[in-house]
Amino acid sequence: MKNSKTVNGLNLSLSTLLTLIFVVLKLTDNIDWSWWWVFSPTLISFGLSLLIIVLIAIFMVVSEIRK
Protein backbone atom coordinates (compact mmCIF):
# COMPACT_ATOMS: atom_id res chain seq x y z
CA MET A 1 0.00 0.00 0.00
CA LYS A 2 1.06 3.56 -0.60
CA ASN A 3 -0.26 4.63 2.84
CA SER A 4 2.38 2.72 4.76
CA LYS A 5 5.55 3.99 6.37
CA THR A 6 8.46 2.00 7.77
CA VAL A 7 9.43 3.04 11.30
CA ASN A 8 12.34 1.13 12.85
CA GLY A 9 11.55 -1.91 10.74
CA LEU A 10 7.80 -1.77 11.43
CA ASN A 11 5.50 -1.31 8.47
CA LEU A 12 2.56 0.75 9.78
CA SER A 13 -0.35 1.67 7.57
CA LEU A 14 -2.41 4.78 8.23
CA SER A 15 -5.31 2.74 9.60
CA THR A 16 -3.04 0.79 11.96
CA LEU A 17 -1.40 3.97 13.21
CA LEU A 18 -4.76 5.67 13.79
CA THR A 19 -6.12 2.61 15.59
CA LEU A 20 -3.10 2.48 17.89
CA ILE A 21 -3.43 6.16 18.68
CA PHE A 22 -7.17 5.81 19.37
CA VAL A 23 -6.64 2.77 21.62
CA VAL A 24 -4.02 4.60 23.67
CA LEU A 25 -6.27 7.64 23.98
CA LYS A 26 -9.23 5.45 25.01
CA LEU A 27 -7.23 3.49 27.60
CA THR A 28 -5.85 6.70 29.12
CA ASP A 29 -9.37 8.20 29.31
CA ASN A 30 -8.54 11.09 26.99
CA ILE A 31 -11.45 10.22 24.71
CA ASP A 32 -14.86 8.88 25.67
CA TRP A 33 -15.66 7.07 22.41
CA SER A 34 -17.30 3.75 21.84
CA TRP A 35 -14.91 0.90 21.02
CA TRP A 36 -16.57 0.78 17.58
CA TRP A 37 -15.21 4.26 16.84
CA VAL A 38 -11.82 3.40 18.27
CA PHE A 39 -11.46 0.43 15.92
CA SER A 40 -13.21 2.10 12.97
CA PRO A 41 -10.00 2.73 10.95
CA THR A 42 -9.25 -1.01 11.02
CA LEU A 43 -12.87 -1.93 10.30
CA ILE A 44 -13.06 0.49 7.38
CA SER A 45 -9.79 -0.81 5.96
CA PHE A 46 -10.99 -4.41 6.31
CA GLY A 47 -14.33 -3.56 4.74
CA LEU A 48 -12.75 -1.86 1.73
CA SER A 49 -10.40 -4.81 1.21
CA LEU A 50 -13.31 -7.23 1.39
CA LEU A 51 -15.31 -5.12 -1.06
CA ILE A 52 -12.42 -5.11 -3.55
CA ILE A 53 -12.06 -8.90 -3.28
CA VAL A 54 -15.80 -9.40 -3.85
CA LEU A 55 -15.79 -7.06 -6.86
CA ILE A 56 -12.82 -8.88 -8.40
CA ALA A 57 -14.54 -12.24 -7.84
CA ILE A 58 -17.75 -10.97 -9.48
CA PHE A 59 -15.76 -9.59 -12.41
CA MET A 60 -14.00 -12.93 -12.87
CA VAL A 61 -17.26 -14.91 -12.74
CA VAL A 62 -18.96 -12.57 -15.21
CA SER A 63 -15.99 -12.71 -17.60
CA GLU A 64 -16.04 -16.55 -17.44
CA ILE A 65 -19.77 -16.64 -18.19
CA ARG A 66 -19.32 -14.38 -21.22
CA LYS A 67 -16.73 -16.71 -22.75
pLDDT digits (tens, 9 = 90+) for 48-58: 999 999 999 99
The domain total for the chain is 1
Q: What is the pTM of this model?
A: 0.71
Residue 13 φ/ψ, nearest 5 degrees: -80, 170
d(CA 52, CA 37): 23
pLDDT digits (tens, 9 = 90+) for 3-34: 666 656 667 789 999 999 999 999 999 999 99
3-state helix/strand/coil string of 5-56: EEECCEEEEHHHHHHHHHHHHHHCCCCCCCHHHHCHHHHHHHHHHHHHHHHH
pLDDT band at 44 (very low <50, low <70, confident <90, very high): very high
Range of the domain at 40: 4-66
Residue 10 vs residue 36, higher pLDDT: 36
